[in-house]
Amino acid sequence: MAIVKMNKFTLLTFESKKEELLQRLQGFSNVEFINLQDENLLEANEYLKSLSKDEVDSNIAKYEEDLSKAKMTLDFLNSYMPKKSGLKALEDDKEDLTIEELENAVNKINWLEIYNKVKEKEDELHAIEGQITKLEGEIEVLTPWQALDISFEALNELKMVSSFVGSISKQCEEELTKALDAGYVEIISRGNSDTNVLVIVEKEKYDETLSLLRGFGFSSFKSEFDKVPQVVITNNAHQIEELKSKIFFIKEEIASFEEDFKKMKLVYDYLSNQVLRYKASNNFLRTTNTVTIQGWCEVEKNEELQNICNEVLKDEYYIAFEEVKEDEVEEVPVKLKNGLLNKTFESVTEMYSLPKYNEVDPTPLLVPFYLIFFGMMVADVGYGLVMLIAAFCAMKFLKLNKKNEDFARFFLFLSIPTIVIGLIYGSFFGDAVKIPGLINPTEDVNTLLVASIVFGVIQIFFGLCIKAYTLIKSGKPKDAFYDVGSWLITLISIGVLAGCIMLGWPSVVKYIAIAAMIFGMLVIVLTGGRAEKTKGAQIGQGLYALYGITSYIGDLVSYTRLMALGLSGGCIAGALNLLMKSLTGPAIILLPFVFVAAHVFNLLLGLLGAYVHTARLQYVEYFSKFYEGGGKAFTPFKASEKYMNLKEN
């Protein structure tokens, strides 16, 4: 239930051992390398500055080229492989392999043969598609001339007359016909703005006619086809159909490469791992024969790391572990460690920001509130049971990947408060099933409103107490009093004063509350700007800090959404049930389908609203009181797991 304790390790060994060591560290998946080649780091360390930068082995070019081939093969095959549908699409079909098992499996695969086979099919498809494009282009060009019942070649062979084939503007069509009264003019087709024409005149009138046509903006049509346009179009259409049939059979053949597709997935991860290992050298420094590696490792994993060094390097290495120094806190990668319940909600924290290494992990501190608030917003026994059954069945009967399993578990846990608060509200698919409840949301609106604000007060005060604890733990008890204690005194006093006015509490309580409120406000004004250099600036900043009391009012108002969303979901469910009761006659047979569809819609709407608004209350109203965030996630040097799951040795 905390941030994993890290330490820095420095490892020196021989360059010749580096490749084998990196392979084992990749399988270990618990070290993050520090980039020793960073110029800022080198400037600050004279010893490191005296070393040379390690370089990526020239073999990487070959592996990158091979990786590119594997990726191309997978991208191409992926378009033709049978796709999983429904729940099957959620299942994880990756193999569980260690680094060594992956390497052994790939060594048995003649993947270049698969690549060449797939490349041949790809080239064949591209060639056929190119032919189809060419034929379709010819059809497009000739379509305006398909009414012409003579070939262009035959027109060119006429001895006694000259022919002109081309287009003119539609507006000039009538004028051209009149101007060429001694010749033959045939309108072949009309487009949006042009008219395609055939003009035939006596041979000796060629120049005269050409000059005339140019005056009308005539554009000649040049063609290399030796057949009648309609014949060419028909032949091309038949060829296109034949080529499309070829494409169909080729695609069917490619779809049968499923086994090759699986093999290439392993090849891709294997080659990715090779490239990653070579690129890791960009983080290291070296001498002629030795290499210097530095990185972060979990303290609990130190012994395992040392055992790996013993196995791979024997006694030809030196390793030292250092605790995190105060000036390194910003650089230390953060990894969270929680129990199953809290771990499920780590994604909520990560979506906001990971904590810094010296901060408190807020995940366990938000989980109870997230559960209660989500339950209050959905608040229906039926909806909770649907969530519970769906999540349980998904986890029990489907082989989910880690991401989908965490998602299912997330809603499994959220279903519990949804059911419990649904029982309190007496809601089971709205009012579809009558069950007794402690609160009727539609009648006890004020009760829900007060409860929502009370939960808000509890969470805000809890957040302030966490901030005080953090400050005290870091050796700043005065800051804890100034920045938290003064606000607690002020806010509690205002609450007590409101109680005296509204509930008629004794006058002595009222005066004590006023005195405490004034004291708290004075502390805020006098200490809120203590970081400023001048008294005037300190008082000004203190007054501005006191003005922040308005934000607490806004925060409390935000918690009314707990009442609003719970009430709206129940009202919509009730309205849907009322509409379904109005179904009569033959339409009654549709009732089960309408009931399921309507309530699934309302459930999805409620889940979306509850997820978003519950998260907002954590991020804006809660985290702002104590949590800064900004930590850097621990990204260990590990194997590619795009198409396989890395299994521990």
Q: What is the pLDDT of residues 345-382, one digit of tens each?
A: 999 999 999 999 988 899 999 999 999 999 999 999 99
State the pLDDT at residue 581: 80
Kindly tell me if the per-residue pLDDT of 589 is higher than 90.
Answer: no
Tell which of 227, 242, 270 closes a domain: 227
Asked if residue 377 and residue 285 are part of one domain, the reply reads: no
Give domain status of residue 631, yes or no.
no
Kindly tell me if the per-residue pLDDT of 46 is higher than 80.
Answer: no
Tell which of 323, 351, 381 closes a domain: 323
State the pLDDT at residue 86: 66
Strand partners, 53: 285
How far, CA to CA in Å, does 42 sit from each of 51, 181, 289, 352?
9, 92, 20, 33
**In degrees rounded to 5, what are phi and psi of residue 194?**
-115, 160
CA distance 45 to 597: 66
Asked if residue 185 and residue 280 are part of one domain, the reply reads: no
CA distance 144 to 196: 7
Asked if residue 617 and residue 529 are part of one domain, the reply reads: yes
**pLDDT, mean of residues 146-161:** 85
Asked if residue 460 and residue 318 are part of one domain, the reply reads: no
Report which of residues 241 and 163 the model is more confident about: 241
Give domain status of residue 426, yes or no.
yes
Asked if residue 451 and residue 307 are part of one domain, the reply reads: no
Kindly tell me if the per-residue pLDDT of 229 is higher than 70.
Answer: yes
Domain count, the chain: 3
- Report the half-sphere exposure of 597 (CA within 13 A, side-chain side): 7
Asked if residue 451 and residue 597 are part of one domain, the reply reads: yes
Tell me which residue has tokens 């499994």: 412
Asked if residue 480 and residue 371 are part of one domain, the reply reads: yes
| Structural domain range at position 285 | 6-107+256-323
211 Cα distance to chain centroid: 66
Query: Confidence band (pLDDT; 50, 70, 90) for 649?
Result: low
Query: Confidence band (pLDDT; 50, 70, 90) for 174?
Result: confident
Percentage of the chain with pLDDT > 70?
98
Give domain status of residue 328, yes or no.
no
Kindly tell me if the per-residue pLDDT of 1 is higher than 60.
Answer: no
Asked if residue 350 and residue 310 are part of one domain, the reply reads: no
The pLDDT tens digits of the residues spanning 75-130 come to: 999 988 888 776 676 777 788 888 889 999 999 999 999 999 999 999 999 999 99
Percentage of the chain with pLDDT > 90?
51
Give domain status of residue 332, yes or no.
no
Kindly tell me if the per-residue pLDDT of 456 is higher than 60.
Answer: yes
**pLDDT, mean of residues 143-156:** 86
CA distance 408 to 347: 13
Write out the two tokens for 322: 């250092």
Q: Give, to the nearest 10 degrees, the angle between helix 258-279 and helix 111-142.
A: 110
Please give the torsion angle defined by the CA atoms of residues 564, 569, 571 and 572, in that order, rounded to the nearest 10 degrees. Answer: 130
Give domain status of residue 636, yes or no.
no
Tell which of 207, 227, 247 closes a domain: 227
Least confident among 2-16, 143-157, 245-259, 305-319: 143-157
Kindly tell me if the per-residue pLDDT of 619 is higher than 70.
Answer: yes
Could you say which DSSP state residue 481 is in? I
CATH code (residue 204): 3.30.70.2750
The pLDDT tens digits of the residues spanning 292-348 come to: 999 999 999 999 999 999 999 998 999 999 999 888 888 999 999 999 999 999 999
| H or E stretch at 434 | none
State the pLDDT at residue 160: 84
Asked if residue 495 and residue 351 are part of one domain, the reply reads: yes
**Amino acid identity, residue 305?**
L
Q: Say what the pTM is.
A: 0.83
In this structure, the number of other CB atoms found within 10 A of the CB of residue 550 comes to 9
Least confident among 24-28, 186-190, 423-427, 496-500: 496-500
Kindly tell me if the per-residue pLDDT of 271 is higher than 70.
Answer: yes
Give domain status of residue 176, yes or no.
yes
CA distance 355 to 367: 16
Least confident among 420-424, 472-476, 582-586, 606-610: 582-586
Write out the two tokens for 192: 């949006």
CA distance 104 to 243: 42
State the pLDDT at residue 89: 66
Give domain status of residue 242, yes or no.
no
The pLDDT tens digits of the residues spanning 471-494 come to: 898 889 998 998 889 999 998 998
State the pLDDT at residue 475: 86
Tell me which residue has tokens 């064949």: 124
Asked if residue 265 and residue 218 are part of one domain, the reply reads: no
**Cα dihedral across residues 403, 409, 414, 419: positive or negative:** positive
| H or E stretch at 291 | strand 290-298
Asked if residue 417 and residue 282 are part of one domain, the reply reads: no
625 Cα distance to chain centroid: 28
The pLDDT tens digits of the residues spanning 175-220 come to: 887 887 777 888 888 888 888 888 888 888 888 888 888 888 888 8
Strand partners, 632: 333
Which residues does 510 contact at the CB level (< 8 Å), separation at least 6? 497, 500, 501
Asked if residue 484 and residue 374 are part of one domain, the reply reads: yes
**pLDDT, mean of residues 276-288:** 91
Kindly tell me if the per-residue pLDDT of 618 is higher than 90.
Answer: yes
State the pLDDT at residue 587: 67
Give exposure, 164-188, as e/b (b: 16+ Cβ within 10 Å).
bbbbbeeebbeebeebbeebebeeb
Give domain status of residue 530, yes or no.
yes
State the pLDDT at residue 55: 81
State the pLDDT at residue 170: 83
